[in-house]
């Protein structure tokens, strides 16, 4: 009997084991199905161009330089006609994109030269938030938020970094006068912290590296964040020979070179987006594209870009300095082929992404961007009643269609320049209405001053003294 009981018990145990196995499979199958039904957090891809003009891609009206990949990106999502950046030059704009906070709060009023302090210590970035929320994070390209160790992307939330720490460099392998490879901490191409040989034209290399990162995410459980930050189409004016040939019909040499550089960037973006499609990750990836600031037209390293029909360019608080090409694409969630004409700003992209990722925010570092999703779905109207700018000796404020700009005298413009413009009728800021509407000017100045105190801007208070204002256009 004992042996029979043993056999019986053994059989029972075996039976129970099989039942347990079946239960395990059913339960886990159910959980998996439940997981599949749950809206999962999107992957995130930031694509940033450097010094690209407002009018320099097909969907923005460009006729002489084809940009099929950027056009397809815009066509697959939302194009923002009034998309702004907080900074009129590289570092301030990139800082606010990374943090979702105005750059004046975090010590980045201007571009960061070699050896100078970078993005304020301790400020969380979109990368550090997403990493904490379980994302795999990578930066490919230009950083320009400080080359000192505390500012290194690997210390600011990025698992991987391929690119360079500074603000600009040659697109081709750098050589010293002696013919030796130049080692410059600011411009050296690195993987992580290790200097690497530059294999080719940097824009091609960044496209390949971005595509490679995407390919490695296929089949991973972890969502990813890729910040693809080009230095194209910033000076120096250098395009590969085959791209110059492609635009041989453009007579102006600088514009021809610009066309080659822009076309190479468009191809690199196409390469990364193709990798995303082929990895089956396109459906659940939130993609943004912006230029970090407007195209430099006459100064601040002019590159033959065009901001038509906007006034001014890089380094200015005129529309041409801060209104940029601005697209968002998230298949199945954002309406393809649509436009959005209420003002938005690059900090909103980061606020939106952090909300979608369910990131746990650090209350010590409140962000200034707005989660755009309720506005893009039509549940809410007008994400920003007021937007304000300050760069160097200039400032500006936009409320609805009204834009008030003020620029201190410079070597170029001897007298201060101020203007009140109705952007709804006068997108080129050419018809100054400030003399006709002194009350509006006064109220907008007061609002701007309040904002400046709040973010800790660096202009002296007398900058907004009405008595100092010259109403000349």
Residues between 86 and 125 that touch Ca ion (CB under 5 A): 90
The residues in 202-221 that bind Ca ion, with binding defined as CB under 5 A, are none
Report the chain's C-alpha Rg in angstroms: 26
Closest to Ca ion by CB, 51 vs 56, is 51
**What residues pair up with 286 in beta bridges, in sequence order?**
44
- The 252-291 site mask, x for binding Ca ion (CB under 5 A), equals ----------------------------------------
Binding segment (CB under 5 A) for Ca ion, from list 5-13, 20-28, 82-90, 125-133: 82-90
Both structure tokens of 327: 């697209």
- Residue that is written with structure tokens 């390949």 in the block: 208
**Shortest reach from residue 168's CB to Ca ion, in Å:** 9
**2 contacts 10 by C-beta, under 8 angstroms:** no
Of these, 42, 45, 51, 448, which contacts Ca ion (CB under 5 A)?
Answer: 51
DSSP secondary structure letter of residue 316: S
Residues touching Ca ion: how many (CB under 5 A)?
A: 5
Residues 6+ apart with CB under 8 A from 120: 105, 106, 107, 108
Give yes or no for residue 82 binding Ca ion (CB under 5 A).
no
Chain residue at closest Cβ approach to Ca ion? 90
Q: Does 429 participate in binding Ca ion (rule CB under 5 A)?
A: no
Tell me: does residue 50 bind Ca ion (CB under 5 A).
Answer: yes
* Complex with Ca ion: residue 231 or 434, whichever CB lies closer: 231
Angle, vertex CA 401, rays to CA 54 and CA 106, nearest 5: 65
Q: Pick between residue 312 and residue 383 the one whose CB is nearest to Ca ion.
A: 312
**Paired sense of beta strands 43-49 and 160-164, if any:** unpaired
Closest approach of Ca ion to the CB of residue 221, in Å: 36
- Strand order, beta sheet including 402-407: 386-391, 394-399, 402-407, 417-422
Reference 89, options 399, 316, 369; nearest CA is 316
What is the torsional sign of CA 102, 104, 109, 114? negative
Separation of alpha carbons 27 and 246, rounded Å? 59
Sole binder of Ca ion in the list 69, 137, 187, 293 (CB under 5 A): 293
Least Å distance, CB 293 to Ca ion, is: 5
The strand pair at 417-422 and 402-407 is best described as antiparallel
Among the listed residues 102, 144, 234, 384, the single catalytic one is 144
Least CB distance from residue 347 to Ca ion, whole Å? 17
Judged by CB under 5 A, does residue 316 bind Ca ion?
no
Please say whether the beta carbons of 240 and 261 come within 8 A. no
- The distance of closest approach from Cβ of residue 465 to Ca ion in the complex, given in angstroms and rounded to an integer, is 31
50/71 with CB nearer Ca ion: 50
Lookup: tokens for 263: 């076309």
Contact 386, 399 (CB under 8 A): yes
Shortest distance, position 51 Cβ to Ca ion, whole Å = 4
- C-alpha span between 51 and 233 (Å, rounded): 6
Nearer to Ca ion by Cβ, of 202 and 434: the residue is 202
* Of positions 106, 292, 319, 429, contacts Ca ion by CB under 5 A: 292
Nearest-CA neighbor of 43 among 259, 233, 273, 265? 273
Angle (CA) 91-211-360 rounded to 5° is 55
> Would you state the torsion angle of the CA atoms of residues 204, 135, 280, 287, taken in this order, to the nearest 10 degrees?
-60
For residue 89, the minimal CB distance to Ca ion (Å) is: 6
| DSSP output for 117-149 | --S-TT---HHHHHHHTT-EEEEEEE--S--SG
Q: At what angle do helices 253-278 and 202-217 cross, to 10 degrees?
A: 10
Contact letters for Ca ion, residues 323-342 (x by CB under 5 A): --------------------
Residue 231 or 350 having the CB closest to Ca ion: 231
Name the residue nearer to Ca ion (CB basis): 53 or 76: 53
Q: Say which of 90, 151, 288, 388 is annotated catalytic.
A: 90
- Residue 394 in contact with Ca ion, rule: CB under 5 A: no
Per CB under 5 A, which region of 47-55, 169-177, 329-337, 384-392 contacts Ca ion? Answer: 47-55
Give the shortest CB-323-to-Ca ion separation in angstroms: 14
Nearer to Ca ion, 50 or 106 (CB): 50
Please confirm, yes or no, whether 90 is among the known catalytic residues. Answer: yes
- Residue 151 is a catalytic residue: no
Between the two ends of the chain, the Cα-to-Cα distance in Å is: 108
> Restricting to residues 132-191, which ones interact with Ca ion according to CB under 5 A?
none
Residues tagged active-site: 90, 144
Interface with Ca ion (CB under 5 A): 50-51, 90, 292-293
């Amino acid at each position: 009997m004992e042996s029979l009981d043993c056999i019986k018990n053994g059989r029972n145990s075996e039976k129970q084991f099989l039942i347990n196995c079946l239960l395990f499979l059913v339960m886990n199958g159910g959980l998996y199905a439940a997981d599949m039904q749950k809206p999962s957090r999107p992957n995130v891809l930031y694509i940033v161009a450097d010094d690209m003009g407002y009018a320099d891609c097909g969907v923005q009206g460009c006729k002489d330089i084809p940009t099929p990949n950027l056009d397809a990106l815009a066509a697959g999502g939302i194009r923002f006609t009034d998309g702004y950046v907080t900074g009129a030059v590289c570092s301030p704009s990139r800082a606010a994109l990374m943090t979702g906070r105005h750059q004046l709060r975090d010590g980045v009023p201007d571009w960061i030269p070699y050896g100078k302090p970078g993005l304020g210590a301790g400020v969380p970035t979109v990368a550090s938030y997403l990493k904490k929320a379980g994302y795999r994070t990578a930066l490919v390209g230009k950083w320009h938020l400080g080359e000192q160790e505390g500012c290194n992307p690997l210390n600011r939330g990025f698992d991987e970094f391929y690119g360079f720490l500074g603000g600009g460099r040659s697109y081709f392998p750098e050589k010293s006068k002696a013919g030796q490879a130049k080692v410059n901490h600011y411009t050296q191409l690195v993987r992580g912290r290790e200097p690497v040989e530059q294999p080719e034209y940097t824009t091609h290399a960044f496209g390949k590296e971005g595509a490679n990162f995407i390919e490695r995410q296929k089949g991973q459980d972890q969502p990813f964040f890729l910040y693809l930050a080009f230095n194209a189409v910033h000076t120096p004016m250098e395009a590969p020979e085959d791209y110059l040939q492609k635009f041989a019909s453009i007579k102006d040499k600088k514009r021809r070179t610009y066309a080659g550089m822009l076309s190479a960037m468009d191809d690199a973006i196409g390469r990364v987006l193709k990798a995303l499609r082929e990895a089956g990750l396109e459906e659940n990836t939130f993609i943004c594209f912006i230029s970090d600031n407007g195209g430099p037209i006459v100064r601040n390293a002019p590159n033959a870009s065009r901001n038509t029909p906007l006034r001014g360019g890089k380094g200015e608080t005129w529309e041409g300095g801060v209104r940029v090409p601005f697209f968002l694409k998230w298949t199945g969630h954002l309406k393809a082929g649509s436009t959005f004409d209420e003002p938005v700003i690059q900090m909103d992209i980061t606020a939106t992404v952090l909300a979608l990722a369910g990131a746990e925010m650090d209350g010590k570092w409140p962000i200034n961007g707005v989660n755009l999703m309720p506005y893009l779905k039509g549940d809410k109207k007008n994400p920003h009643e007021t937007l304000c700018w300050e760069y160097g000796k200039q400032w500006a404020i936009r409320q609805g269609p009204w834009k008030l700009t003020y620029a201190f005298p410079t070597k170029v413009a001897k007298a201060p320049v101020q203007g009140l413009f109705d952007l709804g009728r006068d997108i080129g800021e050419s018809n100054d209405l400030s003399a006709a509407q002194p009350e509006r000017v006064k109220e907008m100045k007061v609002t701007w001053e309040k904002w400046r105190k709040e973010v800790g801007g660096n202009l002296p208070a007398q900058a907004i003294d009405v008595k100092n204002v010259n109403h000349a256009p």
